[in-house]
Structure 1
Amino acid sequence: MDNPLMIFDCDGVLIDSEAVYLQVELGFLAAKGVSVDRDWYVGAFMALAADKWRRQLSDLLLERTGAPLTDDDYVALKSESRRRVIEDVRPIAGIDALLRRLTAPRCVASSTQLPFLPLKLERAGLDRFFGENVFSGDMVENGKPSPDLFELAARRMGFSPGDCITVEDSANGVRGARAAGQFVIGFTGGGHWSDKSGAQLRDAGADMVVASHAELADWLSENTGALVA
């Protein structure tokens, strides 16, 4: 692929925020008396569209405690997550250097709702690399793991699915990009992944897995014309 469209997820690929979300959400569950395996939760819940995440979390609570997620709990949980992310937002190691070298067209495709998505990018200092090419799950009827968001990003950017490389850190994101017919690189460089091997991402359909942006840069240099030396 000489000049692919590079599609980046935001949380866990561009900014190291998934670990913050994970801490807040697991803390919330623990306070409700619900204990879950960390890696299972990452695979099952990370990157879900907001409505699917809420419904799935409510189902989990109902199963374990007999009571679903209340509106007040949902609002408080989302508010705390956003506050913590904004306070602690930082780019994933190596992403700034990668984006500076990237010559290929690029965009963001994230489950994060508007207007929080561009705010996170701005606070991390990464908004300058993407301009208006930022696509949120709010823009489609069905979010991840459905392919709609990835199809929208490719269409808006003027690319066919086979000319896209998507970098995703979640099993749900990988499934969506694969369903859209894109080449998918699983990324395990975020702080939420304790298993850097990417077994969950491979099982979800990732074509390959990298554990850092330096490793991603090396692969792009060897296999595409997407980077300057």
Structure 2
Amino acid sequence: MFDKPLMIFDCDGVLIDSEIIYLEEEFRVLTSNGIEVDKAWFVAEFMALAQPLWKDKFVGLIKERAGVDLTEDEFEAMKALTRERIAAEIKTVDGVEDMLSALRTKACVASSTQMQFLPKKLERTKLAQHFGDGVYSGDMVQNGKPAPDLFLFAAKQMGGDAENSIVIEDSVNGVRGGKAAGMYTIGFTGGSHCFEGHAESLKAAGADVILPSHSALLEWLAANTNTLS
């Protein structure tokens, strides 16, 4: 049993049901360039990558498949529209408020979202109160997900250690980062973006257990930790 472990949550797709918005806009740009991709493949390959890596890979995919150089203006227009939609449509993942309210141990956020946007998301959804200053972005480390740097940085800042930290991640790259950090890593499939085969992808990436909802996470925590008392 874990003794008062540090809980490290990804943001998009775990706390906030926003990944589906990102994906819809990214697929729109791909389709406009005549590119169709397998959604499950795209999610596994791209989701949660550090921002510079993600951009290079996305632009590279369009160049490879369509022979088109996506301009900086086109890329920024996609990101701006995505941010507008998230601001207007943002909502939490079902059950997250009850789960966070039940925790009686340290908890923080470790997300690939840039720091200029990450706190705003948590404030808009009224989740910021659960984390205080424990909000960490890939901007803060040299190597973002799937490298372990962000998780190790978050644990150090929170006064925790890898052996007694639990990562909750919805992406293949996030799971790989959590495991590389030496942390117990839960694959979470409660977001709207979790297409068929998502659980299998997370398991193949090394997730120690797969949980489909925050109510299931609460049950798991009750059985395997003392985080609720």
- TM-score bracket for the superposition, by shorter chain length: over 0.9
Return the TM-score normalized by structure 2.
0.98
2:108 aligned residue: 107
Letter in structure 2 aligned against 1:132? D
8 Å Cα contact 2:40/2:198 also seen in 1: no
Residues 1:42 and 2:51 are matched in the alignment: no
| Equivalent pair of 1:145/1:174 in contact (CA under 8 Å) | yes
Report 1:199-210 matches (<5 A): 199-210=200-211
Q: How does 1:95-134 map to 2 (within 5 A)?
A: 95-134=96-135
Matched AA of 1:157: M
> Is the CA contact (8 Å cut-off) linking 1:188 and 1:196 kept in structure 2?
no
Distance in 1 between residues matched to 2:46 and 2:104, nearest whole Å: 33
The offset of 1:67, in angstroms, is 2.1
Q: Structure 1: any 5+ residue segments left out of the alignment?
A: none
Q: Structure 1 residues 155, 42: CA separation in 2 closer, same or farther (over 3 Å shift)?
A: same
1:197 offset after TM fit, Å? 6.1
Aligned CA RMSD, in angstroms, stands at: 0.9
User: 1:160, CA displacement in angstroms?
Assistant: 1.2
Name the CA distance, whole Å, in 1 between partners of 2:196 and 2:104. 31
Distance (whole Å) between structure 2 residues aligned to residue 113 and residue 10 of structure 1: 11
SS in 2 for 1:27: helix
Deviation at 1:195, TM superposition (A): 2.5
1:212: how far off? 0.3
Give the drift of 1:135.
0.1
Distance 2:18 2:160 in 1: 29
83-92 vs 196-205, which deviates more?
196-205
Paired residue for 1:135? 136
Equivalent AA in structure 2 for residue 23 of structure 1: E
User: Where does the alignment leave 5 or more consecutive residues of structure 2 unmatched?
Assistant: none
Say whether residues 1:70 and 2:71 are aligned partners: yes
Name the amino acid aligned to 1:86: A
User: 2:12, 2:165 → 1: CA distance?
Assistant: 19
* Alpha-carbon contact 2:18-2:86 (below 8 Å) kept: yes
| Alpha-carbon distance between aligned partners in 1 of 2:70 and 2:124, rounded to the nearest angstrom | 30
Q: Answer whether contact 2:3 2:164 (CA < 8 A) is retained.
A: no
How many positions carry a matched residue from both structures?
Answer: 228
- Opposite residue 178 of structure 2, the aligned amino acid is A
Amino acid aligned to 1:172: N
Check conservation: 2:40, 2:197, Cα contact below 8 A.
Answer: no
TM-score by length of 1: 0.98
In the other structure, the counterpart of 1:223 is 224
Q: Is the 8 A contact 2:115 2:136 kept in 1?
A: no
Write out aligned runs for 1:1-229 (5 A). 1-195=2-196, 198-228=199-229
Task: Give distance in 2, aligned partners of 1:3 and 1:103.
Answer: 8
Q: Which amino acid aligns with 1:15?
A: I
1:24-59 deviation per Cα after TM superposition (whole angstroms, max 9, x unaligned): 110111011111011111111111111000000011
Residues 189, 196 of structure 1: 8 Å contact kept: no
Give aligned-pair identity as a percent. 49
